[in-house]
């Protein structure tokens, strides 16, 4: 090495000049990062372009900036080592560079995670792994887990004793668990509601406790329901998770089927009753034309013949108003056409004895 320095005095001058050596390492960092970035693009871009899916193209676009910046910051870290900084300054600069690298990779992994989730949720129904409405749940859980791991590695970069912090967090979590039992119950219930998706925002639901209305917000702690009276009901998730839920907006269509059962006297012409009820249903503007309303002769009742009108309405909250409208028209039309709605009848035989 000494003979080499004697032959090349300029090399000896560079080594002894810390500032010049620092600048050279910085330039080499940019050059190395650029070369590796070009190689990465030429190789991996060519490979992913041959595949049928575009998920690998998106992953490459997300990861390759992190690789470029990692090589660049590693070069910076080596360049800093060429200057005789005080120990505290050198430790601060080195830890800062390591933390920046951790942040870049955390963001790249998080973006890749979201790309994979969206891709999985957009598959065919038989191949779909994740439902679209559960994406916010995985998004939030991914952020929390990634944030915790990022904090863990950043603490390692700064030489912080992670074991002591984990032990303290364990004791603290036990204390918090006892102090905030109800809050944690609502928190986990909210996570399970988002994962199971018995309803979603905008659905019209009925609870066994009597609440009925539109779901406005599904939060981590509670669910907000707006009733037809424009009153907002806030229900803790732990309560709603243990309730029987009737989702009137569930299924393939939001339309709600309604049924009106009416009884007419024996001897009434069946076709006439069906025609009247069908005409009333078709003429009602609140009743859907598709699917069309149906009239069914259900059974021979104890006091008369039972008919049922089955129709669909656009919104579940119209149910009470439409049933009132149809029932009123049916009653008035039966009266106008002399169709009797019978009272319950019983025949009583009185046996006479001596």
The answer, yes or no, to whether residue 279 has pLDDT greater than 70, is yes
pLDDT in tens, 229-242: 778 888 888 888 88
Check residue 46 and give its pLDDT.
Answer: 73
The answer, yes or no, to whether residue 307 has pLDDT greater than 90, is yes
pLDDT in tens, 102-122: 888 888 888 888 888 777 767
Closest CA to 263 of 325, 342, 345: 342
Contact by Cβ (8 Å): 272, 337:
yes
State how far the Cα of 6 lies from the Cα of 13, in Å rounded to an integer. 11
The answer, yes or no, to whether residue 94 has pLDDT greater than 70, is yes
Average pLDDT over residues 277-286: 92
pLDDT level of residue 130 (50, 70, 90 thresholds) = low
pLDDT in tens, 12-33: 544 555 677 777 778 888 888 8
Check residue 309 and give its pLDDT.
Answer: 94
- In the chain, the percentage of residues whose pLDDT exceeds 70 is 80
Check residue 91 and give its pLDDT.
Answer: 84
pLDDT level of residue 49 (50, 70, 90 thresholds) = confident
pLDDT in tens, 329-352: 999 999 999 999 888 767 777 777
Q: Rounded to an integer, what is the distance from CA 146 to the centroid of its chain?
A: 18
pLDDT level of residue 135 (50, 70, 90 thresholds) = low
Most confident of 29-33, 135-139, 323-327: 323-327
* 55 vs 95, higher pLDDT: 95
Hey, where are the domains in the chain?
9-171, 193-247, 256-336
Buried b (16+ CB within 10 A) or exposed e, 216-241: eebeeebbbbeeeeeeeeebbbbebb
* 206 vs 294, higher pLDDT: 294
Find out if CATH 3.30.70.100 is the number for domain 256-336.
yes
Check residue 278 and give its pLDDT.
Answer: 93
State how far the Cα of 99 lies from the Cα of 101, in Å rounded to an integer. 5
Q: What is the mean pLDDT of the chain?
A: 79
- In the chain, the percentage of residues whose pLDDT exceeds 90 is 17
Average pLDDT over residues 176-203: 71
Determine the topology of domain 193-247 in CATH.
SH3 type barrels. (2.30.30)
Average pLDDT over residues 290-314: 91
Check residue 276 and give its pLDDT.
Answer: 94
| Cis ω before 291 (30° cut-off from 0) | yes
The answer, yes or no, to whether residue 4 has pLDDT greater than 50, is no
Check residue 181 and give its pLDDT.
Answer: 63
pLDDT in tens, 245-265: 888 777 666 678 899 999 999
Average pLDDT over residues 169-185: 61
217 pairs with which residues across the strands?
224
Residues near 304 by beta carbon (within 8 Å), at least 6 away in sequence: 263, 264, 265, 266, 268, 340, 341, 342
**Helix or strand holding residue 239 (H, E):** helix 237-240
Check residue 5 and give its pLDDT.
Answer: 42
pLDDT level of residue 296 (50, 70, 90 thresholds) = very high
Average pLDDT over residues 211-223: 82
């Amino acid at each position: 090495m000494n003979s080499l320095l004697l032959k090349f005095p300029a090399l000896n001058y560079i080594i002894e000049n810390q500032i010049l050596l620092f600048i050279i390492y910085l330039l080499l960092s940019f050059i190395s990062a650029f070369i590796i970035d070009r190689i990465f693009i030429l190789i991996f871009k060519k490979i992913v372009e041959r595949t049928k899916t575009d998920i690998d193209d998106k992953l490459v676009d997300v990861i390759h900036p992190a690789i470029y910046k990692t090589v660049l910051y590693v070069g910076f870290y080596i360049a800093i080592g060429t200057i005789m900084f005080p120990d505290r300054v050198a430790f601060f600069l080195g830890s800062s560079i390591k933390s920046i690298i951790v942040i870049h990779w955390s963001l790249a992994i998080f973006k890749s995670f979201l790309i994979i989730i969206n891709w999985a949720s957009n598959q065919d129904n038989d191949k779909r792994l994740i439902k679209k409405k559960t994406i916010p749940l995985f998004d939030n859980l991914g952020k929390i887990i990634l944030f915790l791991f990022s904090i863990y590695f950043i603490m390692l970069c700064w030489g912080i004793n992670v074991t002591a912090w984990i032990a303290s967090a364990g004791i603290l979590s036990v204390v918090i668990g006892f102090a905030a039992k109800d809050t944690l119950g609502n928190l986990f219930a909210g996570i399970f509601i988002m994962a199971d998706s018995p309803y979603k925002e905008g659905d019209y639901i009925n609870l066994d406790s009597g609440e009925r209305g539109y779901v406005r917000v599904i939060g981590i702690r509670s669910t907000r329901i707006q009733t037809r009276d424009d009153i907002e009901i806030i229900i803790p998730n732990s309560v709603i998770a243990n309730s029987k839920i009737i989702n009137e907006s569930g299924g393939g269509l939001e339309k709600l089927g309604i049924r009106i059962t009416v009884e007419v006297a024996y001897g009434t012409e069946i076709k006439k009753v069906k025609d009247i009820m069908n005409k009333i249903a078709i003429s009602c503007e609140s009743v859907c034309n598709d699917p069309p309303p149906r009239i069914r002769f259900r059974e021979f009742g104890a006091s008369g013949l039972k008919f049922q009108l089955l129709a669909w309405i656009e919104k579940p909250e119209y149910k009470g108003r439409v049933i009132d409208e149809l029932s009123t028209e049916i009653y008035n039309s039966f009266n106008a056409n002399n169709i009797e709605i019978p009272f319950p009848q019983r025949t009583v035989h009185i046996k006479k004895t001596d």
